[in-house]
Amino acid sequence: EVQLVESGGGLVQPGGSLRLSCGASGFTFRNYEMNWVRQAPGKGLEWVSYISGTGNTIYYADFVKGRFFISRDNAKNSLYLQMKSLRAEDTAVYYCARDGFQLGVWGKGTTVTVSS
């Protein structure tokens, strides 16, 4: 069964850092492009970042450039999102999603709350 499981969310103070992980199973991870998408409470979907299968191509949404960093470890079938200088407006459920720019498989998400 194809599965994505996010972890690493939690409560963090403004200005703090957090590293999200996404574990993949049921498919050949290195062959697939991956994304992070977030959803603030009561709001719509907001794309955060993309990474190619090799990790050579990366894109970020403007609002996270310089603060968030996407990476992957194909040997560990894992996707990561390092988040720094967190702000209250970064509070959201963070989903990892597979399949390039048309996101075919989604995890259940991990919740990040930025608050003092």
Q: Please report how close the Cβ of residue 67 comes to another protein at its closest, in angstroms.
A: 16
- Site for another protein contains 2 (CB under 8 A): no
Tell how far CA 110 is from the center of its chain. 9
CA–CA gap between residue 30 and residue 53 (Å, rounded): 5
Candidate residues 1, 41, 75, 102; the one interacting with another protein per rule CB under 8 A = 102
Candidate residues 18, 20, 32, 50; the one interacting with another protein per rule CB under 8 A = 50
**Other beta carbons less than 10 A from residue 88's beta carbon:** 10
Length of the chain: 116
Which residues would be at the binding site for another protein (CB under 8 A)? Answer: 35, 37, 44-47, 50, 59, 61-62, 95, 97, 99, 101-109
